[in-house]
Homo-oligomer: A and B are copies of this chain.
Amino acid sequence: MKNGEHGDLMENFRDFLRSSGLKLTSQRMTILDKLIAMKGHRSADEIIDILKGEGLNVSKATMYRLLSLLKQSGCFNEHDFGLGRKYYEFTRGKKHHDHLYCVKCGGVREFRTPAIEKLQDQAARKLKFKAIYHSHNIFGYCAKCVRRHHLNRM
């Protein structure tokens, strides 16, 4: 039995599989193991490539099916930044947050502003709109890229 967030993920996901009558295969264990190691926001193809680099071949079909289960189980979040592909992120039990996407390097950073959530709930309520979830993304240049590419004066 593994420790820390690794153990948590395994346990949560195993519970989810059991209660859905699904199976925890050795391949799923191996992939999950590596998914935790690669932090951050990744697309399905990126993940497959990284795994291949580590000597683990996973078919697209299997990858997409696994990501779908991880999303359903709540272990992973799926994000759409409007770039034609989806990005997946291990929740690590984090609270909901929004994203800053760097258009230069593709890096993703998170931000959390409870005051914004409150205001947006108010806005929805005022229009009698029953909100379920939201997606709030800011696009621009991350600190690193601003420095590296002299974008200060833009």
Do A119 and B120 touch (CB < 8 A)? no
Report how far A23 CA is from B118 CA in the complex, Å: 48
Q: What residues of B have a CB within 8 angstroms of the CB of A138 in the complex?
A: 120, 123-124, 129, 131, 133-134
**Per-residue interface assignment for chain A, residues 129 to 145, with 1 indicating a CB less than 8 Å from any chain B CB and 0 otherwise:** 11111111111111100
Interface centre among A109, A134, A141 (most CB of B within 10 A): A134
Number of copies of this chain that the complex holds? 2
**CB of A37 within 8 A of chain B?**
no
**CB of A116 within 8 A of chain B?**
yes
Q: Which of B111, B120, B127, B131 is A123 in contact with, Cβ under 8 Å?
A: B111
Do B132 and A135 touch (CB < 8 A)? no
Do B130 and A123 touch (CB < 8 A)? no
